[in-house]
Amino acid sequence: MVGKSIYDFYIRKWAGVDPNNGNPLWYTTDSTGKTTTTSVYARGSQYYVGSSLPAVVGGITNTFRYQGIELNFLFTYSLGGKVLDLDYVSMLTGGASPGRNFSTELLDSWTPQHTNTNVPRMTTDDLGWTSTSTRLLYSATYGRLKNLTLAYHIPLPAAWKQNEYIRDIRLYVTGENLLTFYKHQGMDPEQSVGGTTYYQYPAIRTVSVGAQFGF
């Protein structure tokens, strides 16, 4: 679109599920500006629905010391922006792709007895409901405790320092990616600037213990 960023989303808008037959729906707007819905994905109109670029990115870090105890943390965050989770598609195909893992979301699929839902009917027909649309577009806002380190400096005899032996012994335990605050489950919020997932390995939560010797 003229005047927009290459990192903006210009896609179809999800309109839910037709309660009469369980088919997916998308919005479409004609030349007169009238907006209706259609069950055919190709007939859905494309709309500007936001950007993948966050409004604010930052972090908070500090180190607290008390006698020989040291506590250091790094908390990172990103506010604003959107991400298109295309990896999630493989778990929403339902009967169209037997043999794959299914999301528990499919338990809420449309049936003649359960018509008030946002998940289309289960079928081997390709309804196109996992095609690119706002159905798979999520907020990219998140916060993460990136690093937390607790350390203890063991008091050493003064003679060691005077004779240039070991000057410091530091015992520590460090945790990385301990907590992530993010609404959309199952996806790592730290994605590429383009805002589209592509089988990216999530940040691994690790805890390590060690000792440092200063000479």
Backbone conformation region of residue 67, classed left if phi is above 0, alpha if psi is from -120 to 50, else beta: left
**What are the residue boundaries of the structural domains of the chain, listed by start?**
53-86+132-214
pLDDT in tens, 145-202: 999 999 998 887 776 666 667 778 899 999 999 999 998 888 888 888 888 887 878 8
Rounded to two decimals, what is the model's pTM?
A: 0.83
DSSP symbol at 86: -
DSSP symbol at 135: G
Backbone conformation region of residue 65, classed left if phi is above 0, alpha if psi is from -120 to 50, else beta: beta
Mean pLDDT throughout 113-135? 92
pLDDT in tens, 48-107: 999 999 999 999 999 999 988 999 999 999 999 999 999 888 888 765 556 678 888 999
Backbone conformation region of residue 164, classed left if phi is above 0, alpha if psi is from -120 to 50, else beta: left
